[in-house]
């Protein structure tokens, strides 16, 4: 069992979780992820590492409630059944520290795993810039950390209630030429468009993929992606890849697979028996 | 006297549940079967057993109704008899060499082994062990059959043994791979508990190579045994392999066995398709097929050779046929057909012909013809084998072969304090061969550390 120190709301649906996991933290690097379970029969939920303290053994994660499993996770206040990791490979930006101008692009909850990367760079004396896109003012998270770690932070909101109005790609279009390399973490569709812009402007692009997976060690093959025309596993070959090599459309296609199943259960769980099938589930 | 057949759950009923198919012998049945044993002077069956259980000796005890003595004899050679009695391919091992089998039926050695092991569990029999600690520390990576067997042997010799397991439950393939109806998880847990009861420690949720490196372990332990198995699923290099509805058998079996997708309380979603095609002919293919049948799908196994070449355990093939699993032979997938959502809607395959040549697996080779055909289906499960997973040791100095297997002499790797055995040195094989490797590694580790091997 792994003791929870903190599990609090950052917004309506985004939570910050601190859990004691010394063995995970001991060898953790930015870009890697963990798999958590709330109880023995729960799903194994992959979450990218946000922070780790090697002295205290505290691991910090940020997650959004998107289904039954993450909802259960948000209820849990005492301990987790399992935390395993670190899994995957360290952030690819660490292989690119010779690049002069680095730009991070975070979308939604994807901004959280950018934190350990910019912190790592900050500690190395490298200051990067960051575009952070989110829906609205109330959904902005971790702003003060970001401000302290990056040189320039550009916040974009869909409704213009905070920062500039527009998508991350609107901002990127304007400033992409100022940078040598871009790291994008967020929804797959966002990473696809950011990659397209980067490729068009001849910039290196790194993205972090987080598909469905079970074990996180290469065993199940659920997280497979097409990279450069070859099948790769996000868990052991990733989670980060160079954006120009990813077949994003295939990745988007694979995402629909369990979405409806879990989404239905989630609606049923929060709406109970009054659930009227708004999710598209046909009533028998 | 004829062989005493084991009673089975009715085929029509068992297709709809996950309860064990084979029901085991009663005491009377076991004694009756044991009586058939000739107690040969030169027992060939022992030579057919990868861990050399003193087979005629324990059968003799059953004959006399002395079950306690019988299980004691088995435990001298095997720490997982309830598992091996159920999943060993006995027809290719002990029973293959039984003199009785040359003319008529071989003694049902596997069924008798299982009977003894189940008797021990039911009667809470605990073997009395006298372990003298030698204070030498061993780390074992992986809690599958090879790791467990090695741990048991080393602990009996007095070593302080810790097993590291990457998943949240111990047992390796016994837990995530082999389904409940063939190997009840309560039985696996019982055998693991037995091993823990003698003092072996198991730490779950540790991915060696990531959470902790081999080099870090070497600082804390006197020797390391790599029992990491062969866990990476092989996929096929055909069109649309990433389509929705194409799974590795590992994923299906993990979802169902480890994550309990068949249980109401499980949170792991699994879609129940109408028509499944399982590609492959080994035990894993049959396990995946029978799992999907029980979840309510119509299932067909497609194998690229013919029926006689099927590598699966004889009983599993028989049981699958009884459960209305279809089989199509001499066909090999060529392309996965998809609909607009990129979901599977069918399979294009090529017809194969048998050749006269025999390959290294002792099966007849096959060749593609130029005749193609298609079938409709909404799920495809690939059970065409697994590669070894090098996650634990890829950042260490341990050498591998051209095939990516760990290079060993006996169980010695290129690093003198690191040993390896089981599927990670042979490629995917059987539970009992992995157990055999674990036992051998224990001996070699004991020799390496200078302990006296009193066995």
Q: Look at residue B355 in the predicted model and tell me its pLDDT.
A: 92
- Rounded CA-CA distance A184/B174 in Å is 40
What is the structure's pLDDT at A279?
A: 36
Mean pLDDT of A190-219: 91
Distance CA B201, CA B165 (A): 11
Q: What is the mean pLDDT of residues B99-124?
A: 93
Q: Which of A26, A84, A226 to mutate to test the interface with B (most CBs of B within 10 A)?
A: A84
CA dist B447 to A141, B279, B418, Å? 58, 44, 13
| Smallest CA–CA distance from A67 into chain B, residue | B267
Neighbours of B114 (CB within 10 A): 25
pLDDT digits (tens, 9 = 90+) for B152-189: 999 999 999 999 999 999 999 999 999 999 999 999 99
CA A246 to chain centre: 17
Determine contact, residues A198/A182, Cβ cutoff 8 Å.
Answer: yes
In angstroms, rounded to a whole number, what is the distance separating the alpha carbons of residues B406 and B385?
17
Please tell me the predicted confidence (pLDDT) of residue A281.
36
User: Chain B residue with minimal CA distance to A35?
Assistant: B205
Element (H, E) at A131: strand A129-134
With a pLDDT cut of 90, the percent of chain B lying above it is: 78
State the smallest CA–CA distance between residue A137 and chain B in angstroms: 34
- Whether B11-122 and B232-386 share one fold: the answer is no
CATH number for domain B11-122, candidates 1.10.1060.10, 3.40.50.300, 1.10.10.60, 1.50.10.20: 1.10.1060.10
Size of interface A-B (CB pairs under 8 A): 119
Strands B344-358 and B331-338: antiparallel
Q: Which of B206, B251, B342 has its CB closest to that of A23?
A: B206
Q: Does the pLDDT value for residue A171 go beyond 70?
A: yes
Q: Are B229 and B422 in contact (CB under 8 A)?
A: yes
**pLDDT bracket for residue B199 (50, 70, 90):** very high
Q: What architecture does CATH give domain B232-386? A: 3-Layer(bba) Sandwich (3.50)
- Which residue among B168, B244, B267 sits closest to A254, beta carbon to beta carbon? B244
Residue B323 has pLDDT above 90, yes or no: yes
Give the pLDDT confidence score for residue A259 in this predicted structure.
53
Indicate if the pLDDT at residue A274 is higher than 60: no
pLDDT for B1 equals 80
Kindly state the percentage of chain A with pLDDT values over 90.
Answer: 67
Q: CB B212 to CB A26 under 8 A?
A: yes
Question: What is residue B417's DSSP assignment?
Answer: T
| A133 CA: distance to closest CA in chain B (Å) | 29
Q: Which of 3.40.50.1240, 1.10.357.10, 3.50.50.60, 3.30.70.2740 is the CATH number of B137-231+388-448?
A: 3.50.50.60
- For residue range A14-39, what is the model confidence (pLDDT) as tens digits? 999 999 999 999 999 999 999 999 98
> How far is the C-alpha of A54 from the C-alpha of A59, rounded, in Å?
9
pTM to 2 decimal places: 0.89
Nearest beta carbon to residue A217 from set B207, B243, B251 = B207
Tally of CA atoms within 13 A in the half-sphere of B71 that contains its CB = 22
Residue A144: phi, psi to the nearest 5? -65, -40
Which residues 6+ apart lie within 8 Å of B152 measured at CB? B79, B195, B198, B200
pLDDT band, residue A283 (cuts 50/70/90)? very low
Whether the pLDDT of residue A271 is over 60: the answer is no
Segment A69-94 shows an average pLDDT of 92
Question: Which residues of B are less than 8 Å from A261 in CB distance?
Answer: 269, 271
Looking at every residue in chain A, the average pLDDT score rounds to: 87
pLDDT tens-digit series, residues B357-379: 988 878 889 999 999 999 999 99
Beta strands at B298-303 and B379-382: parallel, antiparallel or unpaired: unpaired
Q: Which residues of B fall within a CB distance of 8 Å from A263? A: none
Question: Which of A23, A42, A257 is closest, CB to CB, to B267?
Answer: A42
Per-residue pLDDT, B267 = 64
Kindly tell me if the per-residue pLDDT of A5 is higher than 60: yes
- Split at pLDDT 50, 70, 90, the class of B294 is very high
Q: Give the residue from chain B lying closest to A231, CA to CA.
A: B242
Residue B1, CA distances (Å) to A224, B4, B40, B169, B410 in order: 55, 9, 17, 44, 42
Q: Cβ separation of B247 and A222 shorter than 8 Å? A: yes
Chain A: give the shortest CA distance to residue B262, in Å: 11
Distance from the A131 Cα atom to the nearest Cα atom in chain B, whole angstroms:
31
Averaged pLDDT score across all residues of chain B: 92
Q: Token pair of A131, please?
A: 């575009």
Per-residue pLDDT for A280 more than 50?
no
Question: Per the CB < 8 Å rule, is B341 touching A44?
Answer: no
| Euclidean distance between CA atoms A282 and B364, whole angstroms | 50
Per-residue pLDDT, B272: 85
pLDDT in tens, A106-118: 999 999 999 999 9
Q: Closest chain A residue to B240 measured between Cα atoms?
A: A250
Out of B242, B271, B389, name the one closest to residue A218 (CB): B389
CA B406 remoteness from chain centre: 19
The mean per-residue pLDDT over the stretch B66-78 comes to 92
Q: How close does chain B come to A99, measured CA to CA in Å?
A: 26
Chain B: which residues have CB within 8 Å of chain A?
166-168, 176, 204-207, 210-213, 231-233, 235, 241-245, 247-248, 250-251, 254-255, 258-260, 263, 265-269, 271, 341-342, 389, 391
pLDDT beyond 80 at B30: yes
A2-87, what's its fold? Elongation Factor Tu (Ef-tu); domain 3 (2.40.30)
CATH 3.40.50.80 assigned to A92-207: yes
**Among candidates A26, A220, A254 on the partner chain, residue whose Cβ is nearest the Cβ of B242:** A254
CA B371 to chain A, closest CA, distance in angstroms equals 28
Nearest CB to A37; choose among B168, B243, B247? B168
Mark yes or no for CB contact A214/B251 under 8 Å: yes
> Is the confidence at residue B426, as pLDDT, over 80?
yes
Output the pLDDT for position A102. 94
Torsion from C-alpha of A52, A216, B431, B58, nearest 10 degrees: 50
* Residue B128 DSSP SS3: coil
Task: Name which of B116, B261, B241, B92 is nearest B180 in CA terms.
Answer: B261
Confidence of residue B260 (pLDDT cuts 50, 70, 90): confident
Q: Is the pLDDT of residue B449 over 90?
A: yes
Sorting pLDDT into bands at 50, 70 and 90, what band is A260?
A: low
Nearest to B391 among A26, A217, A265 (CB): A217
Q: What's the gap in Å between the CA of A186 and the closest CA on chain B?
A: 22
Whether A214 and B206 lie within 8 Å, measured CB to CB: no
Q: Give the lowest-confidence range in A264-268, B422-426, B443-447.
A: A264-268
> Domain map of chain A by residue range?
2-87, 92-207, 209-284
Q: What is the rounded average pLDDT of the residues B191-197? A: 92
A contacts of B206 (beta carbons < 8 Å) = 23, 84
pLDDT at B264 over 90: no
At residue B428, what are phi and psi to the nearest 5 degrees? -55, 125
């Amino acid at each position: 069992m792994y003791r929870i120190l903190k599990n609090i709301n950052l917004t309506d649906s985004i939570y910050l979780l601190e859990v004691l996991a010394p063995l995970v933290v001991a060898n953790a690097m930015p870009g890697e992820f963990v798999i958590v379970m709330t109880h023995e029969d729960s799903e194994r939920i992959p979450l990218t590492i946000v922070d780790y303290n090697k002295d205290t053994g505290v691991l910090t994660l940020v997650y959004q409630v998107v289904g039954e499993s993450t909802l259960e996770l948000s209820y849990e206040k005492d301990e987790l059944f399992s935390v395993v990791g670190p899994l995957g490979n360290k952030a690819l930006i660490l292989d690119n520290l010779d690049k002069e101008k680095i730009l991070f692009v975070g979308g939604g909850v994807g901004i959280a795993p950018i934190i350990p990367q910019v912190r790592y760079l900050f500690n190395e004396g490298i200051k990067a810039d960051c575009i952070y896109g989110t829906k609205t003012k109330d959904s902005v998270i971790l702003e003060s950390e970001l401000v302290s770690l990056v040189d320039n932070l550009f916040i974009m909101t869909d409704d213009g209630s905070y920062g500039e109005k527009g998508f991350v790609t609107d901002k990127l279009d304007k400033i992409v030429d100022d940078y040598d390399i871009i790291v994008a973490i967020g929804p797959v569709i966002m990473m696809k468009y950011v990659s397209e812009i980067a490729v068009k402007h001849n910039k290196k692009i790194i993205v972090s993929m987080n598909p469905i997976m079970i074990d996180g060690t290469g065993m199940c093959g659920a997280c497979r992606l097409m990279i450069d025309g070859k099948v790769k596993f996000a868990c052991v070959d990733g989670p980060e890849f160079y954006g120009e090599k990813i077949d994003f459309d295939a990745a988007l296609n694979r995402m629909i697979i369990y979405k409806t199943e879990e989404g239905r259960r989630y609606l049923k769980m929060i709406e109970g028996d009054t659930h009227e099938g708004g999710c598209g589930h046909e009533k028998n | 006297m004829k062989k005493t057949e084991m009673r089975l759950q009715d085929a029509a009923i068992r297709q709809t549940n996950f309860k064990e198919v084979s029901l085991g012998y009663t005491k009377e049945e076991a004694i009756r079967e044991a009586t058939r044993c000739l107690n040969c002077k030169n027992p060939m069956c022992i030579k057919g057993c990868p861990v050399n259980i003193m087979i005629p000796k324990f059968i003799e005890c059953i004959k006399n109704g002395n079950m306690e003595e019988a299980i004691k004899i088995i435990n001298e050679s095997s720490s997982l008899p309830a598992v091996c009695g159920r999943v060993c391919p006995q027809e290719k091992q002990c029973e293959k060499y039984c003199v009785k089998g040359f003319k008529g039926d071989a003694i049902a050695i596997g069924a008798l082994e299982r009977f003894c092991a189940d008797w021990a569990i039911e009667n809470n029999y605990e073997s009395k062990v006298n372990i003298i600690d030698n204070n030498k520390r061993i780390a074992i990576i992986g809690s599958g059959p090879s790791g467990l067997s090695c741990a048991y042997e080393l602990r009996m010799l007095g070593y302080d043994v810790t097993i590291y397991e990457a998943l949240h439950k111990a047992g390796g393939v016994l837990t995530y791979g082999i389904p409940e109806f063939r190997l009840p998880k309560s039985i696996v847990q019982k055998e693991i508990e037995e091993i823990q009861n003698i003092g072996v420690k198991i730490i779950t949720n540790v991915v060696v190579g990531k959470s902790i490196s081999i080099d870090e372990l070497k600082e804390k332990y006197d020797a390391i045994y790599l029992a990491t198995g062969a866990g990476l699923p092989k996929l096929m290099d055909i069109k649309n392999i990433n389509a929705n509805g194409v799974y590795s058998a590992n994923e299906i079996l993990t979802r169902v066995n480890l994550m309990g997708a068949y249980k109401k309380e499980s949170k792991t979603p699994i879609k129940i398709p109408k028509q499944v095609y399982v590609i492959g002919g080994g035990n894993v293919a049959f396990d995946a097929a029978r799992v999907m049948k029980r979840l309510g799908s119509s299932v067909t196994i497609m194998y690229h050779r013919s029926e006689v070449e099927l590598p699966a355990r004889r009983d599993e093939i028989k049981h699958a046929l009884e459960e209305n699993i279809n089989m199509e032979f001499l066909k090999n997938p060529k392309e996965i057909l998809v609909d607009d959502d990129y979901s599977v809607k069918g399979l294009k395959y090529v017809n194969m012909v048998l050749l006269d040549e025999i390959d290294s697996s002792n099966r007849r080779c096959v060749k593609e013809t130029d005749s193609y055909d298609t079938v409709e289906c909404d799920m495809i499960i690939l059970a065409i084998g697994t590669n070894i997973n090098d996650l634990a040791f890829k950042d260490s100095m341990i050498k591998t072969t051209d095939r990516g297997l760990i290079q060993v002499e006996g169980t010695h790797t290129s690093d003198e304090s690191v040993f390896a055995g089981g599927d990670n040195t042979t490629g995917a094989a059987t539970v009992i061969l992995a157990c055999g490797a674990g036992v051998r590694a224990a001996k070699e580790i004991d020799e390496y550390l200078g302990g006296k091997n009193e066995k």
